[in-house]
Amino acid sequence: MKKHLLRIADLTKDEILAILDRAEELRQGSKPRRFPGTILGLLFFQASTRTRIGFHSAIARLGGTGITIEKTKYQPGMTHPESLEDTLRSIVHYCDAFVLRHPENDSIDRAARVLTGVPLLNAGNGLDEHPTQALIDLFAIRSWHHRLEGLRIGFVGDLARSRSTHSLLQALHYFPPAELRLMHPASAAAPPNILSSQLTDTLRTESDLRVQHLDVLYVAGFSQGDEAPHYDTAARQRFRLTTQVLPRLSGRCLILDPLPRIDEIDPLVDRSPNAYYFLQSTAGRFVRSAILELQLGMPSQTISCSS
């Protein structure tokens, strides 16, 4: 395993399976490895609930401590806040590993260039990737279906701007689906370069919500805010999962959503036995502990840098 986890492609298939297997052991009551005195730097320059609390909780369960930073330093007289690089150069030796979330796509590679001696985990870089979320998603899929390959998997929403979708689609390169169904407005397609030939061979695109025969429905939703493209109510409704859609869903279909929910799933759907998104989120604690165990447990002489 590489020192940094910057993108899902940093992991081999065997490494992904090792993380999922260890997470399953932890879920079944195995005692976490102990890393007493270990300090994890939680660098969250963009809002987070699940990922931030998840890693903070995970390091505490492993006997370590988390330190959170949300802003780089700014004071009167500075034209800009302190740069990410200067901030990291200053604190690199205060922590044994770092987790970074940042609104800019290039932030994770910039951080990796500075943090050469310390493991770095990507917790979401702009619109690019969210690899630890993809591991949580794979864990949820395997928990429900007891396999990862040969499933009919649908993604719905703004797939151009969903970093969780980007990482999961790339992870599926290792676990080719029987069908990959991408449902989105014309302007919200996933970047074509992240779809490997294993995926394009089974790809079907839809301009509305077609959920029949799916084994997994991944509801990516539509971002809101000044920088997100505006999708009017009619467009959002066209891709919204409501109780009216549920009868068209297979009884075996797992409904996932990386959360937070905006309006992509009607809260009434939460009562469906197929609605797994809150279990997906809570089971993330085992996956995050497994990731930290592996990253922190590597002997320093065997780790290689991915950047």
Q: In angstroms, what is the minimal distance from the CB of 68 to ligand CP?
A: 13
Closer residue to ligand CP, CB minimum distance, 246 or 289: 289
Closer residue to ligand CP, CB minimum distance, 130 or 166: 130
Q: In angstroms, what is the minimal distance from the CB of 144 to ligand CP?
A: 18
Q: Single out the segment in contact with ligand CP by CB under 6 A; choices: 46-54, 72-80, 242-250, 262-270.
A: 46-54
Q: In angstroms, what is the minimal distance from the CB of 43 to ligand CP?
A: 13
Residues whose CB falls within 8 Å of the CB of residue 184, separated by 6 or more in sequence, listed in order: 155, 156, 157, 158, 159, 160, 190, 205, 207, 239
Closer residue to ligand CP, CB minimum distance, 55 or 144: 55
Burial (CB count <10 Å: 0-12, 13-18, 19+), residue 301: exposed
Closer residue to ligand CP, CB minimum distance, 132 or 152: 132
Residues whose CB falls within 8 Å of the CB of residue 79, separated by 6 or more in sequence, listed in order: none
Name the residue with tokens 């922190």: 296
What is the CA 205 to chain-centroid distance, rounded?
A: 23
Q: Single out the segment in contact with ligand CP by CB under 6 A; choices: 17-25, 214-222, 230-238, 252-260.
A: 252-260
Q: In angstroms, what is the minimal distance from the CB of 293 to ligand CP?
A: 20
Query: Can residue 143 be called a binding residue for ligand CP (CB under 6 A)?
Result: no
Query: Can residue 107 be called a binding residue for ligand CP (CB under 6 A)?
Result: no
Contact with ligand CP (CB under 6 A) among 258, 288, 291, 294: 258
Closer residue to ligand CP, CB minimum distance, 130 or 181: 130
Contacts of residues 20-24 at CB distance under 8 Å and 24 or more positions apart, as own/partner, are 20/135, 20/138, 20/139, 20/142, 20/287, 20/290, 22/290, 22/293, 22/294, 23/139, 23/283, 23/286, 23/287, 23/289, 23/290, 24/139, 24/143, 24/286
The helix (H) or strand (E) run that includes residue 139 is helix 131-145
Closer residue to ligand CP, CB minimum distance, 49 or 187: 49
Closest CA to 21 of 74, 13, 300, 192: 13
Query: Can residue 133 be called a binding residue for ligand CP (CB under 6 A)?
Result: yes
Three-class HEC string of 209-259? CCCCCCCEEEEEECCCCCCCCCCCHHHHHHCCECCCCHHHCCCCCEEECCC
Q: Single out the segment in contact with ligand CP by CB under 6 A; choices: 186-194, 201-209, 223-231, 254-262.
A: 254-262
Q: In angstroms, what is the minimal distance from the CB of 284 to ligand CP?
A: 8
Q: In angstroms, what is the minimal distance from the CB of 101 to ligand CP?
A: 7
The amino acid sitting at 35 is F
Please state, in angstroms and rounded to a whole number, the distance separating the CA atoms of residues 95 and 56.
Answer: 13
Contacts to ligand CP from residues 48-67, by CB under 6 A: 48-52
Closer residue to ligand CP, CB minimum distance, 152 or 277: 277
Contact with ligand CP (CB under 6 A) among 259, 265, 290, 294: 259
The residues binding ligand CP (CB under 6 A) are 48-52, 124, 130, 133, 258-260
